[in-house]
Amino acid sequence: MTNRTSLAVTISAVALGAVALSGCSDDGEAKASASMDLLRCEQFLGAGNVRSVLDSIGEGDPVASARRSPTDLAGRLAREAREWTEQDLLHDSYRACRIDVPAEDGDGGQVVEATVKWSVLTVKSMSEPKHAQTWRKVNDQVFVETETGRPSMRLLVPRGVSGAPSGQKLGLPLEMEVADSGLDVDQREKLLTTFARALTGELACADTPEIPAALPG
């Protein structure tokens, strides 16, 4: 009986240890995944910019979500551009990064989100009255919309993709947006321009667009 009892105790102790280790392992994996998501957000938006935004919000612990790296996301966008036709008006929108910062009292919080898609707008449409009212020309290759009706800002950037159909660059520009819960305009602008440079840089091409740090209001 004594031997059986000792054996049972030993098995129970081993089982409990395994459960504890498993719990620690899961917790470690979750922390590593969260850390990787924040790192990807920093790759898209700039580490300094992300820190500045989090410092200005200054509430609960941030929760970042970023499933793809800039390289992975650029690859998906490139494949979509190569399959594009002029009749195609449906384009997937990709969330590059989302950062949720819960309020310390648990009521609400702040959200920062960066998204990108191939736009249904074109460079030619920027001269149409309904778009010219809100979109501003930054230079020959970049247009900005600062009045979207909510706390956000959008960039339209023509970007040619190797192997894409003729006319893709002007007929299918990139549309990138940063939306938030009420950041300063300067912060939003820094996030957006850094995001745009990160993505257009990954879509390697000879005519890299010039995206300035300061955008016209």
One-character DSSP codes across 181-205: SS--HHHHHHHHHHHHHHHHHHS--
d(CA 84, CA 132): 26
Per-residue pLDDT at 204: 64
Q: What is the mean pLDDT of residues 160-179?
A: 93
Angle, alpha carbons 57-198-162 (nearest 5°): 155
Q: What is the mean pLDDT of residues 195-206?
A: 85
Per-residue pLDDT at 132: 87
73-127 residue pLDDT tens: 999 999 999 999 988 888 999 999 999 998 877 677 899 999 999 999 999 999 8
Per-residue pLDDT at 33: 65
Q: How confident is the model at residue 29 (pLDDT cuts 50, 70, 90)?
A: low
User: Nearest 10 degrees: CA dihedral of 35, 36, 39, 40?
Assistant: -150
Name which residue leads in pLDDT, 85 or 6.
85
Q: What is the mean pLDDT of residues 48-73?
A: 92
The domains of the chain are located at 34-202
| Share of residues in the chain with pLDDT > 90 (%) | 58
Q: Is 50 exceeded by the pLDDT of residue 44?
A: yes
Per-residue pLDDT at 24: 45
Q: Is 90 exceeded by the pLDDT of residue 19?
A: no
User: Which residues are paired to 157 by β-bridges?
Assistant: 174
129-154 residue pLDDT tens: 989 889 999 998 899 998 777 899 99
Per-residue pLDDT at 30: 54
**What is the CB neighbour count within 10 angstroms for residue 81?**
22
Per-residue pLDDT at 173: 95
Per-residue pLDDT at 45: 98
* pTM of this prediction exceeds 0.75: yes
Q: What is the mean pLDDT of residues 2-8?
A: 40
